[in-house]
């Protein structure tokens, strides 16, 4: 400290500031010492916090030691540009804060460190910050420009990292809930806060993991995964499950195996427990999952898929933890695959469909005919309740063949061939039909067997003729 009136340089200065031990102080020296001692012994009381006065904070974080902060008012009537900190003579300190860095914090890079300091101070004095009137937000001075941007959430990126720093995002979200204005006065150092942040600690082994304020803000994925909840099954649902077990082939056979005493000396060990009418599957760690009948699957899937914003297979499946359906994953996969809303919103990733290709046919009557079966007609007096329509593609002539709904393809073959003969259409060169099983399964094979049998009988006739014409052979 430069004492007023002391020589400023040279040997006289050296002699002035040399430490000398006074073995035998004079009366004047003693009284001077006592004055100094009294000055230091008198407690300078900090000002009382007044929520109606503007509150300021000076922050500083030092990589070497820790965080420092001064919370203060200014003398009543003092006015200044809020962009710049008030003059030191106008400051009325309310409280001082400082602490050492935790081990994790000592690895932070400067932006994180300054933001951690701001978060720590806000956590410490949030009662003061929240007490501030709406029109008097707390003014915070920091000597790190990045903190201002993060507190305003103007930028969550930093020059050092091209990735969004989630730690800073959380910090920014936390800071947003307070009414504070953060300023970075250029070229100004927070002398008090800076000194506080460099206070040597008398207890240097302070590195306590709980002191990590930035990480205290976050909920790590592990913690969020490890919640536990107790599920109570309503009596009504329990009764429904019990009743539906009987209809469920798999679970009813498991229950039967478990509950039936057997004479076999080697008892089968099944990973199931049957208790109070409910069946549980037990895994290797002893965790029990409730077995639910397949008939309840659609209802449960609606809860975990439709009512959860139609989320995908993995997320829906994870919601079913603790419940077991026979072939549950496959069922859920099918359920989501056929969910109407998901089908509407699904992005089409297949190649574009081609154009429809018309069936080309020559302009010849009865060359190409189309077939279809009409079902669900009222019963006629002859006992017919279905019909087959035969349409010529060129002339649009239509033939109708009466039939019965219970007829299969074979039964339709004779009436159809009869129609071609009786209507004098002749056998068409091409027949167009849909993929009705009646056509694909029975009709064609029946028609061919009839035609081939005709052909065969013809051959028989001709062979007879052949034989009769050359009997000596
Ligand atoms: Zn869906």
Length, in residues, of the chain: 473
The more confidently predicted of residues 455 and 309 is: 309
Provide the pLDDT for residue 259.
85
In angstroms, what is the span from residue 335 Cα to ligand 1's centroid?
Answer: 8
Structure tokens at 268: 């089968």
- Percent share of the chain, pLDDT over 70: 85
DSSP structure class, residue 266: S
Provide the pLDDT for residue 455.
62
Q: What is the DSSP string of 194-217?
A: HHHHTPPPSS-----GGG-HHHHT
In angstroms, what is the span from residue 308 Cα to ligand 1's centroid?
Answer: 9
pLDDT of 161 above 50? no
pLDDT of 155 above 80? no
What's the CA gap between 165 and 156, in Å, rounded? 7
In angstroms, what is the span from residue 305 Cα to ligand 1's centroid?
Answer: 6
The mean pLDDT value for 440-457 works out to 78
In angstroms, what is the span from residue 333 Cα to ligand 1's centroid?
Answer: 11
Provide the pLDDT for residue 56.
92
Could you give the angle at the alpha carbon of 149 between the alpha carbons of 143 and 152, nearest 5°?
115
In angstroms, what is the span from residue 336 Cα to ligand 1's centroid?
Answer: 6
Calculate the dihedral angle through the C-alpha atoms of 340, 341, 347, 352, rounding to the nearest 10 degrees. Answer: 40
Per the prediction, the chain carries an average pLDDT of: 81
CATH of domain 368-459: 3.30.420.10
Q: Using an 8 Å Cβ cutoff, are 46 and 95 in contact?
A: yes
- Mapping DSSP to helix (H, G, I), strand (E, B) and coil, where does residue 440 land? helix
Cross-strand bridge partners of residue 142: 59
In angstroms, what is the span from residue 340 Cα to ligand 1's centroid?
Answer: 7
What's the CA gap between 437 and 420, in Å, rounded? 22
Fold: same for 56-216 and 368-459: yes
In angstroms, what is the span from residue 354 Cα to ligand 1's centroid?
Answer: 28
Q: Count CB neighbours of 199 within 10 A.
A: 16
In angstroms, what is the span from residue 381 Cα to ligand 1's centroid?
Answer: 50
Provide the pLDDT for residue 111.
83
In angstroms, what is the span from residue 309 Cα to ligand 1's centroid?
Answer: 8
Q: Could you tell me which of 321, 254, 329 has the C-alpha nearest to residue 290?
A: 321
Beta-carbon contacts of 76 under 8 Å, excluding residues fewer than 6 positions away, are 53
Dump pLDDT digits (tens) for 282-337.
888 888 888 999 888 998 899 889 888 888 899 899 888 888 888 889 999 999 99
In angstroms, what is the span from residue 10 Cα to ligand 1's centroid?
Answer: 87
Dump pLDDT digits (tens) for 186-244.
777 778 888 888 877 766 555 455 556 666 554 444 433 444 445 567 788 888 888 88
What's the CA gap between 336 and 217, in Å, rounded? 37
What's the CA gap between 54 and 72, in Å, rounded? 9
Dump pLDDT digits (tens) for 23-69.
888 899 899 989 988 887 777 778 888 888 999 999 888 888 888 99
In angstroms, what is the span from residue 78 Cα to ligand 1's centroid?
Answer: 64
Residue 398's pLDDT band, with cuts at 50, 70 and 90, is very high
> Can you point out the beta strands (E) in 62-206?
66-74, 91-100, 138-142, 180-183
In angstroms, what is the span from residue 266 Cα to ligand 1's centroid?
Answer: 47
- Write down the domain spans for the chain: 56-216, 237-258+270-344, 368-459
Residue 154's pLDDT band, with cuts at 50, 70 and 90, is low
Residue carrying the six token digits 């082994």: 205
What's the CA gap between 93 and 74, in Å, rounded? 8
* Residues with a beta carbon under 5 angstroms from ion ligand 1: 310, 339, 341-342
In angstroms, what is the span from residue 294 Cα to ligand 1's centroid?
Answer: 19
CATH class given for the domain over 56-216: alpha beta
What's the CA gap between 89 and 75, in Å, rounded? 9
In angstroms, what is the span from residue 226 Cα to ligand 1's centroid?
Answer: 27
Residue 160's pLDDT band, with cuts at 50, 70 and 90, is very low
Structure tokens at 76: 């009543």
Q: What are phi and psi of 368, to 5 degrees?
A: -120, 125
The more confidently predicted of residues 342 and 439 is: 342
Residue carrying the six token digits 């009414």: 179
In angstroms, what is the span from residue 33 Cα to ligand 1's centroid?
Answer: 85
Provide the pLDDT for residue 343.
86
Provide the pLDDT for residue 385.
92
In angstroms, what is the span from residue 288 Cα to ligand 1's centroid?
Answer: 29
Provide the pLDDT for residue 45.
75
> Between 1.20.910.10, 1.10.340.70, 1.10.10.10, 1.10.10.410, what CATH number should domain 237-258+270-344 receive?
1.10.340.70
DSSP alpha helix (H) spans, 141-205: 145-151, 166-176, 191-197
Provide the pLDDT for residue 396.
93
In angstroms, what is the span from residue 342 Cα to ligand 1's centroid?
Answer: 4
Q: Using an 8 Å Cβ cutoff, are 388 and 401 in contact?
A: yes
In angstroms, what is the span from residue 322 Cα to ligand 1's centroid?
Answer: 22
In angstroms, what is the span from residue 304 Cα to ligand 1's centroid?
Answer: 10
In angstroms, what is the span from residue 321 Cα to ligand 1's centroid?
Answer: 19
In angstroms, what is the span from residue 320 Cα to ligand 1's centroid?
Answer: 16
The DSSP bridge pattern shows strands 66-74 and 56-61 to be antiparallel
The mean pLDDT value for 416-436 works out to 89
Provide the pLDDT for residue 334.
93
Q: Could you tell me which of 64, 63, 67 has the C-alpha nearest to residue 99?
A: 67
Q: What are phi and psi of 370, to 5 degrees?
A: -115, 145
The Cα-based distances of 339 to 231, 301, 328 in angstroms read 28, 10, 16
Provide the pLDDT for residue 217.
59
In angstroms, what is the span from residue 332 Cα to ligand 1's centroid?
Answer: 11
The mean pLDDT value for 81-86 works out to 86
pLDDT of 158 above 60? no
Residue carrying the six token digits 């302070």: 206
Provide the pLDDT for residue 204.
58
């Amino acid at each position: 400290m430069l004492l007023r009136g002391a020589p400023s340089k040279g040997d006289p200065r050296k002699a002035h500031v040399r430490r000398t031990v006074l073995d035998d102080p004079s009366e004047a020296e003693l009284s001077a010492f006592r004055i100094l001692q009294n000055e230091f012994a008198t407690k300078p009381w900090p000002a009382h916090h007044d929520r109606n006065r503007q509150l300021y904070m000076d922050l500083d974080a030092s990589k070497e030691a820790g965080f420092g902060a001064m919370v203060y008012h200014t003398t009543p009537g003092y006015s200044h540009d809020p962009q710049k900190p008030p003059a030191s003579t106008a400051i009325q300190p309310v409280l001082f804060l400082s602490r050492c860095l935790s081990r994790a914090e000592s690895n932070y890079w400067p932006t994180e460190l300054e933001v951690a300091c701001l978060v720590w101070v806000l956590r410490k004095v949030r009662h003061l910050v929240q007490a501030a009137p709406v029109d008097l937000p707390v003014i915070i001075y920091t000597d790190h420009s990045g903190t201002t941007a993060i507190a305003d959430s103007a930028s969550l990126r930093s020059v050092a990292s091209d990735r969004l720093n989630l730690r800073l995002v959380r910090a920014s979200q936390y800071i947003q809930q307070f009414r504070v204005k953060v300023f970075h006065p250029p070229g100004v150092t927070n002398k008090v806060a800076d000194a506080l942040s460099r206070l040597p600690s008398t207890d240097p082994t302070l590195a306590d993991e709980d002191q990590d304020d930035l990480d205290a803000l976050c909920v790590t994925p592990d913690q969020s995964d490890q919640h536990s909840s107790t599920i109570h099954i309503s009596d009504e649902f329990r009764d429904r499950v019990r009743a539906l077990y009987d209809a469920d082939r798999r679970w009813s056979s498991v229950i039967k195996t478990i509950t039936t005493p057997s004479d076999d000396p080697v008892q089968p060990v099944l990973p199931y427990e049957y208790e109070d009418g409910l069946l549980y599957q037990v895994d290797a760690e002893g965790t029990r999952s409730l077995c639910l009948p397949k008939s309840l699957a659609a209802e449960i899937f609606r809860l975990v898929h439709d009512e959860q914003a139609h989320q995908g297979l993995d997320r829906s499946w994870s919601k079913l933890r603790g419940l077991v359906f026979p072939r549950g994953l496959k069922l859920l996969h099918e359920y989501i695959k056929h969910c109407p809303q998901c089908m509407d919103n699904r992005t089409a990733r297949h190649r574009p469909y081609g154009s429809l290709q018309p069936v080309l046919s020559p302009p010849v009557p009865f060359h190409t005919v189309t077939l279809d079966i009409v079902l669900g007609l009222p019963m006629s007096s002859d006992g017919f309740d279905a019909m087959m329509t035969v349409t010529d593609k060129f002339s649009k002539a239509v033939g109708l063949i009466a039939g019965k709904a219970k007829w299969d393809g074979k039964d339709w073959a004779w009436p159809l061939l009869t129609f071609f003969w009786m209507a004098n259409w002749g056998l068409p060169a091409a027949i167009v039909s849909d993929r009705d099983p009646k056509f694909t399964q029975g009709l064609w094979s029946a028609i061919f067997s009839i035609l081939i049998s005709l052909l065969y009988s013809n051959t028989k006739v001709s062979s007879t003729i052949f034989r009769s014409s050359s009997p000596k052979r």
